[in-house]
Chains A and B, each alone.
Chain A
Amino acid sequence: MLSGTASLADLLVGAATMPDLATAPEELGEVELLKVVTETRFAHRTAALPSGLHPTNPPTAILHVWKVESSPWGPFSLAETRVGCRSGTRPRGLVLGCVVDGPDAAVAALRARWGFPARPGRVTLRRTYDGVTATVAVEGAEVCAVHAVDPDPIDGSDLAWTTTLTLAHTPRGPRLVQVEVEHRVARAERVQARIDRFDGDAWGHPALVPAHVVSSAVTVGAAVLPSLRFVARPEELAFTGTEPADAPAAPHADPPAARPAAD
Chain B
Amino acid sequence: MRFGIFFEMSVPRPFTPQAEAAVFHNALAQARLVDELGFDWVWAVEHHFLEEYSHCSAPEVVLAAVAAQTQRVRIGHGAVVCVPEINHPIRVAERAATLDIISNGRLEVGTARSSTWTELGGFNVDPDTTKKTWDEFVRVLPRMWTQEHVEWDGYCFSMPERSVLPKPLQQPHPPLWVTVTSPGTELDAADRGLGCLGVASTGYQEQERRTTEYYRRIEQCEPVGAVVTREVTTLNFLYCHEDPATAARRGMAMMGHFGLTNAHLLWTREAYPTRAYTSLSNIDPGGRSTGSRPDPHGVPESVCIGDPDRICEVLRRWESQGLSGINFLLNAGEVLSQQEVLDSLRLFATEVLPRFGEHSVTLGVAG
Q: How far is the CA of A176 from the CA of B265 in the complex (A)?
A: 22
Minimum CB–CB distance for B279 against chain A, Å:
10
The interface stretch among A24-32, A56-64, A103-111 is A56-64
Chain B, Cβ-Cβ closest to A159: B273
Contact: B259 with A89, CB < 8 Å?
A: yes
Q: How far is the CA of A1 from the CA of B264 in the complex (A)?
A: 9
Q: How far is the CA of A158 from the CA of B261 in the complex (A)?
A: 25
Contact: B271 with A214, CB < 8 Å?
A: yes
Scan A137-173; emit 1 where CB is below 8 A from any B CB, else 0. 0000000000000000011001110100000000000
Interface of A: prevailing SS: strand
Q: How far is the CA of A58 from the CA of B120 in the complex (A)?
A: 11
Interface residues in chain A, defined as those with a beta carbon under 8 Å from any beta carbon in chain B: 1-2, 37, 39, 54-58, 60, 84, 86, 88-91, 154-155, 158-160, 162, 188, 190, 212, 214-215, 217
* Given contacts A1-B264, A56-B266, A155 and B121 within 8 Å (CB-CB): no
A-B contact pairs, 30 of them (CB 8 A): A1-B264, A2-B13, A2-B264, A37-B271, A37-B272, A54-B264, A56-B264, A56-B266, A57-B50, A57-B266, A58-B118, A86-B263, A86-B264, A89-B263, A89-B282, A90-B263, A91-B270, A91-B280, A154-B273, A154-B274, A154-B275, A155-B275, A158-B273, A159-B273, A162-B270, A188-B273, A212-B121, A214-B117, A215-B272, A215-B273
Contact: B266 with A60, CB < 8 Å?
A: yes
Q: Which residues of B contact A160 (CB under 8 A)?
A: 269-270, 273, 280
Q: Number of contact residues on B: which range applies?
A: 20 to 34
Q: How far is the CA of A55 from the CA of B265 in the complex (A)?
A: 9
Q: How far is the CA of A92 from the CA of B1 in the complex (A)?
A: 40
Interface status of B365 (Cβ within 8 A of chain A): no
Give 14 A-B pairs besides A1-B264, A160-B280 with Cβ atoms closer than 8 angstroms: A1-B260, A37-B272, A57-B49, A57-B50, A60-B271, A84-B266, A88-B260, A89-B263, A91-B280, A158-B273, A160-B273, A212-B121, A215-B272, A217-B273
Q: Which residues of A contact B262 (CB under 8 A)?
A: 89
Q: How far is the CA of A214 from the CA of B122 in the complex (A)?
A: 11
Q: Which residues of A contact B51 (CB under 8 A)?
A: 57
Interface status of B35 (Cβ within 8 A of chain A): no
Chain A, Cβ-Cβ closest to B122: A58
Q: Which of B50, B259, B272 contacts A214 (CB 8 A)?
A: B272
Most buried by B among A56, A90, A159: A56
Minimum CB–CB distance for B266 against chain A, Å:
5
For the complex of A and B, 5 pairs with smallest distance between CB atoms: A89-B263, A158-B273, A215-B272, A159-B273, A56-B266
Scan B223-267; emit 1 where CB is below 8 A from any A CB, else 0. 000000000000000000000000000000000010111111111
Q: Which residues of B contact A54 (CB under 8 A)?
A: 260, 264
Chain A, Cβ-Cβ closest to B12: A1
Q: How far is the CA of A86 from the CA of B259 in the complex (A)?
A: 12
Contact: A56 with B265, CB < 8 Å?
A: yes
Q: Which residues of A contact B260 (CB under 8 A)?
A: 1, 54, 88-89
Minimum CB–CB distance for A75 against chain B, Å:
27
Minimum CB–CB distance for A71 against chain B, Å:
26
Contact: B266 with A158, CB < 8 Å?
A: no
Q: How far is the CA of A241 from the CA of B85 in the complex (A)?
A: 42
Q: How far is the CA of A187 from the CA of B299 in the complex (A)?
A: 44
Interface status of B52 (Cβ within 8 A of chain A): yes
* Given contacts A91-B270, A162-B270, A57 and B264 within 8 Å (CB-CB): yes
